[in-house]
């Protein structure tokens, strides 16, 4: 029987699936320092970000055939070394795309209707200054008919486009590698409506978007800096649910101060877990603490995607 150690846990949906397929899944947590003597009893290990699978551990486990990361980032695994020892390394990059795209829209809707601000004010002033608050927050905007610029048109960018099309937005994606993608919008009672979206030039996206949402990895320097903000429409909204650092935070704060940027939605920050106070306390920033991928559904998807990939590895191939 193939034995799997889920050292940082696994969603019950994935565990049940694996057990149905005849795998033995052990969810007892083994302390990092004890793994060198105990992990070799298993054929596969599933980790999140807590357990580290480094070179010395790999050397101590010649029996190990597969390392599975429940999630995306592989920083806690010496991937190249594992592969050089014929150990397969897998992750689940697609399982949380919908969750992140929906969070980007939470921020966009929040910004458009002052949701984040009225939620801060209503508990303290809602019963004494109701009419004043109503007046303050009555100039919201609607998303239908607006243009959404997408920086990064990969998995999450395309999910975000799917929601945008469903809401009647025009979408202007940019991407270094992707020229076009077919986006199918689910419409109840049909097989879906498919729209081919072509990527556009950076300048076209920057100059014409009412909302700009980032869905790119961090590549060492900010993609949105002062000069990009200057090229944007007056009153633009910027949403970042990708990685801290992709938007220059000082440039963003300056853009908010000048009024060029009407509002920002941030799930990610340059110096997590201690983001700048100036961002956290800003009256026109909608905030969340890096929860893009963290939904019940995404966790179940991760478990099921892992179960399917593990099955393919051990049984199908």
Question: Which residues are designated catalytic?
Answer: 243, 272, 290
Single residue of 7, 17, 91, 242 touching ligand NAD by CB under 6 A: 242
CB of residue 160 vs ligand NAD: minimum separation in angstroms?
9
- 107 near ligand NAD (CB under 6 A): no
- 307 near ligand NAD (CB under 6 A): no
Single residue of 62, 168, 217, 259 touching ligand NAD by CB under 6 A: 217
Beta strand 193-198 with 180-185 is antiparallel
**Computed from CA positions of residues 93, 94, 95, 97, in that sequence, does the dihedral angle turn out positive or negative?**
positive
Measured distance CA(171)–CA(177) in Å, rounded: 17
Report residue 88 as tokens.
């397969």
Report residue 178 as tokens.
């992707």
- 100 near ligand NAD (CB under 6 A): yes
Measured distance CA(118)–CA(182) in Å, rounded: 38
Measured distance CA(145)–CA(310) in Å, rounded: 44
CB of residue 242 vs ligand NAD: minimum separation in angstroms?
4
Residue with tokens 């300056």: 254
Buried (b) or exposed (e) across 66-100, using 16+ Cβ within 10 A? Answer: bbbbbbbebebbbbebbeeeebbbbbbeebbbbbb
CB of residue 299 vs ligand NAD: minimum separation in angstroms?
12
CB of residue 177 vs ligand NAD: minimum separation in angstroms?
4
Nearer to ligand NAD, 97 or 209 (CB): 97
Chain residues 142-201 in contact with ligand NAD, contact rule CB under 6 A? 151-157, 174-178
Pattern of binders to ligand NAD over 59-98, x per CB under 6 A?
-------------x--------------------x--xx-
Nearest to 108 by CA among 155, 169, 154, 158: 169
Total residues in contact with ligand NAD, by rule CB under 6 A: 30
Burial of 121 (0-12, 13-18, 19+ CB in 10 A): middle
Say which DSSP state 313 is in.
Answer: I
Please identify, among the stretches 3-11, 30-38, 215-223, 248-256, the one whose residues bind ligand NAD according to the rule CB under 6 A.
215-223
**Computed from CA positions of residues 71, 72, 77, 82, in that sequence, does the dihedral angle turn out positive or negative?**
positive
CB of residue 169 vs ligand NAD: minimum separation in angstroms?
18
Q: Which residues bind ligand NAD (CB under 6 A)?
A: 72, 93, 96-97, 100, 151-157, 174-178, 215-217, 219, 223, 241-243, 267-268, 290, 292-293
């Amino acid at each position: 029987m193939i034995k799997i150690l889920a050292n940082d846990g696994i969603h019950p949906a994935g565990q049940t699936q694996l057990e149905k397929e005849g795998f033995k899944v052990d969810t007892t947590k083994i302390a990092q320092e004890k793994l060198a003597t105990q992990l070799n009893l298993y054929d596969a290990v599933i980790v999140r970000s807590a357990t580290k699978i480094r070179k010395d551990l790999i050397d101590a486990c010649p029996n190990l055939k597969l390392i599975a990361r429940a999630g995306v980032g592989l920083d806690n695994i010496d991937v190249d070394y594992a592969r050089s020892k014929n150990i397969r390394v897998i992750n689940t990059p697609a399982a949380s795309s919908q969750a992140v795209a929906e969070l980007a829209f939470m921020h966009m809707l929040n910004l458009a209707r002052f949701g984040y601000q009225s939620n801060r004010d209503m508990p303290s002033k809602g019963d004494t200054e109701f009419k004043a608050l109503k007046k303050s927050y009555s100039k919201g905007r609607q998303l239908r008919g607006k243009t959404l610029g997408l920086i990064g048109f990969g998995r999450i960018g395309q999910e975000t486009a799917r929601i945008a099309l469903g809401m009647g937005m025009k979408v202007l994606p940019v991407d270094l590698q992707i020229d076009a993608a077919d986006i199918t919008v689910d419409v109840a009672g049909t097989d879906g409506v498919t729209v081919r979206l072509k990527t556009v030039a950076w300048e076209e996206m920057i100059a014409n978007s009412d909302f700009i949402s980032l869905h790119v990895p961090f590549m060492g320097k900010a993609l949105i800096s002062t000069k990009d903000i200057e090229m944007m429409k007056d009153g633009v909204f910027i949403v970042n649910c990708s990685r801290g650092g992709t938007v220059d935070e000082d440039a963003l704060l300056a853009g908010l101060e000048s009024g060029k940027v009407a509002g920002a939605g941030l799930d990610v920050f340059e110096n997590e877990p201690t983001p700048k106070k100036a961002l956290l306390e800003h009256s026109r920033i909608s905030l969340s603490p890096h929860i893009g991928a963290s939904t019940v559904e995404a966790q179940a998807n991760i478990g099921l995607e892992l179960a399917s990939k593990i099955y393919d590895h051990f049984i199908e191939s």
